[in-house]
């Protein structure tokens, strides 16, 4: 009887391993137990969310920025949709659009690019490291993001935050004029933002508190 039970449990375990899917930014091969690999660093990742959470926190603590760039370790920005069960995929598109417009405006304003179209190739672009969540009570879709900015903006985070708010207001108007998101009905009018000043430890721990075993709530723009 024990042998039969062990055999059945092993079969069940194998079935569960084969049915498990790992989403971006991690990949897996046939040997699920050995090869869960980070797409960017190609390093082995454990599927347990507590270990994955520590990988993120250690990476932010020992962050090595490119020349003329600064990783902001004492502030993070929260953007909330203020809507229940708002699609996370749609919300990701919204944040990507905000990042795109922000880079065009800020980099051009501070003479870091000569043409707004060149923001993608600029080494000075503003980078969002964001973690998406839904609140426990109302299931409001939101994200917390750590920032990498040009050195000239290190002491001007209020300018970055104000620009994000202005972009959201502009998108509200353009959405009504049907210039953006005709297919994806994003409702920027309900969005809100907050710039939080915390210790470096809190800035690492709070955004990463809901890291999932599938690593599917993290994006970098």
| 93-109 average pLDDT score | 94
Residue 7 has what pLDDT?
41
Size of the chain, expressed as the number of residues it contains: 221
SS3 146: strand
The pLDDT score that the predictor gives to residue 41 is 63
Place 158 in a pLDDT band, splitting at 50, 70 and 90.
very high
- Residue written as tokens 């995929």? 89
Q: Which two tokens stand for residue 130?
A: 């964001």
pLDDT tens readout for residues 55-77:
889 989 998 888 999 999 999 99
Q: Are 25 and 38 a contacting pair, CB within 8 Å?
A: yes
Instruction: Give the mean pLDDT of the chain.
Output: 79
The pLDDT of residue 5: 41
Q: What is the pTM of this model?
A: 0.75
Identify which has the larger pLDDT, 26 or 134.
Answer: 134
Of 53-62, 82-91, 125-134, 210-219, the one with minimum mean pLDDT is 210-219
Query: Phi/psi of residue 172, each to 5°?
Result: -60, -45
Residue 50 binned pLDDT confidence (cut-offs 50, 70, 90) = confident
Q: What percent of the chain has pLDDT over 90?
A: 46
Q: How far is CA 15 from CA 19, 23, 31, 39, 205, in A?
A: 6, 19, 13, 25, 34
């Amino acid at each position: 009887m024990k042998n039969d039970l062990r055999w059945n449990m092993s079969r069940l375990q194998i079935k569960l391993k084969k049915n498990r899917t790992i989403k971006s930014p991690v990949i897996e091969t046939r040997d699920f137990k050995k090869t869960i690999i980070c797409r960017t660093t190609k390093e082995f990742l454990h599927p347990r969310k507590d270990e994955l959470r520590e990988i993120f926190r250690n990476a932010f603590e020992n962050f090595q920025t490119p020349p003329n760039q600064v990783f902001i370790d004492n502030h993070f920005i929260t953007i909330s949709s203020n809507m229940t069960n708002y699609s996370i995929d749609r919300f990701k598109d919204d944040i990507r659009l905000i990042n795109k417009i922000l880079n065009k405006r800020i980099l051009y304003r501070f003479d870091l690019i000569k043409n707004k179209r060149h923001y993608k190739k600029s080494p000075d672009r503003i980078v969002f490291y964001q973690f998406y969540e839904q609140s426990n009570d109302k299931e409001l879709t939101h994200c917390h993001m750590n920032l990498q900015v040009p050195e000239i903006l290190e002491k001007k985070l209020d300018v970055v935050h104000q620009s994000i708010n202005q972009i959201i207001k502009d998108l509200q108007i353009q959405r009504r004029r049907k210039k953006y998101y005709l297919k994806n009905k994003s409702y920027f009018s309900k969005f809100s933002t907050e710039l939080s000043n915390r210790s470096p430890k809190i800035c690492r721990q709070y955004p990463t508190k809901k890291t999932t075993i599938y690593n599917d709530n993290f994006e970098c723009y």
